[in-house]
């Protein structure tokens, strides 16, 4: 990629970070798509996306926790198994022709279900059994490690559609889930860090700014209906990326 394109890439990363952080996501799927469109080296995509994910999910976690949009009781069974599973998944690379179409269809379905879902947030959450949550966490963690995302793009729609937590709580849970899994996935693929581009600190800076703005709006100001619609758009974009790259 030429130097002249770096500012345009930075602006794109800022926009992606702001949009995804508004629903508690780190934005890895969006970063992967944007960086691929700007022709970054394939070996740089996964570690750079995870690095940006850590930055955005970190600030998102802080803002959602301080806004009290979080539930430790719901969160911990998912994460105790997702962390080691994500670390293991970071070692693997599946043939793209296998997982991309299937993953794209799953994301499209989740996006559609969220888009047509009623925007009530006054229901009583019904968290899953701890053993089942641990199994789900392991599966999502392993998948996130392989693909190079934080796993929140899978966990958020699942939790909302099954009523495991309230919408804003889901965003807070997803932010911390993404943070810990991104760190674990990156540690499982440390050798890839040598491929991170020299201008990665610039991308991290704009991602931090965009993520701060998005998470601040999502944790305190955006209505539930807007959060659900925004999340469905994120899922459509992520699903589309699976068929385009």
Task: Give pLDDT, residue 148.
Answer: 67
Q: Count the neighbouring beta carbons within 10 Å of the beta carbon of residue 190.
A: 10
- Residue spans per domain, the chain: 3-244
Residues 192, 198, 199: CA angle, nearest 5 degrees = 115
Check residues 151 and 61 and name the one with the higher pLDDT.
61
Check residues 209 and 235 and name the one with the higher pLDDT.
209
CB 123 within 8 A of CB 160: no
Whole-number Å distance between alpha carbons of 19 and 67: 19
Q: Count the neighbouring beta carbons within 10 Å of the beta carbon of residue 39.
A: 11
> Could you tell me the pTM of the whole model?
0.80
Query: Which of 2-6, 63-67, 73-77, 106-110 shows the lowest mean pLDDT across its residues?
Result: 106-110
Q: Please, which residues have CB within 8 angstroms of residue 123's CB and are 6 or more apart in sequence?
A: 163, 166
């Amino acid at each position: 990629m030429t130097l002249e394109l770096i500012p345009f890439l930075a602006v794109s990363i800022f926009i992606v970070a702001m949009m995804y952080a508004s629903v508690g996501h780190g934005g890895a799927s969006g970063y992967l798509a944007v960086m691929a469109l700007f022709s970054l080296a394939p070996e740089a995509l996964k570690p750079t996306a995870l690095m940006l994910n850590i930055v955005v999910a970190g600030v998102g976690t802080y803002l959602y926790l301080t806004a009290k949009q979080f539930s430790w009781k719901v969160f911990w069974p998912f994460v105790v198994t997702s962390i080691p599973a994500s670390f293991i998944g970071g070692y693997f690379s599946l043939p793209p022709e296998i997982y991309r179409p299937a993953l794209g269809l799953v994301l499209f379905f989740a996006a559609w279900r969220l888009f047509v879902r009623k925007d009530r947030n006054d229901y009583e959450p019904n968290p899953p059994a701890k053993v089942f949550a641990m199994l789900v966490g392991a599966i999502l963690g392993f998948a996130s490690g392989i693909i190079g995302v934080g796993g929140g793009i899978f966990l958020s729609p699942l939790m909302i559609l099954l009523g495991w937590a309230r919408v804003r709580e889901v965003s807070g849970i997803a932010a911390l889930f993404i943070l810990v899994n991104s760190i674990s996935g990156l540690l499982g693929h440390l050798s890839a860090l040598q491929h991170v581009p020299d201008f990665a600190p610039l991308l991290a800076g704009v991602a931090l700014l965009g993520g701060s703005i998005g998470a601040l709006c999502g944790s305190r100001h955006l209505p539930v209906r807007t959060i659900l619609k925004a999340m469905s758009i994120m899922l459509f974009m992520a699903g589309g990326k699976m068929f385009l790259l």
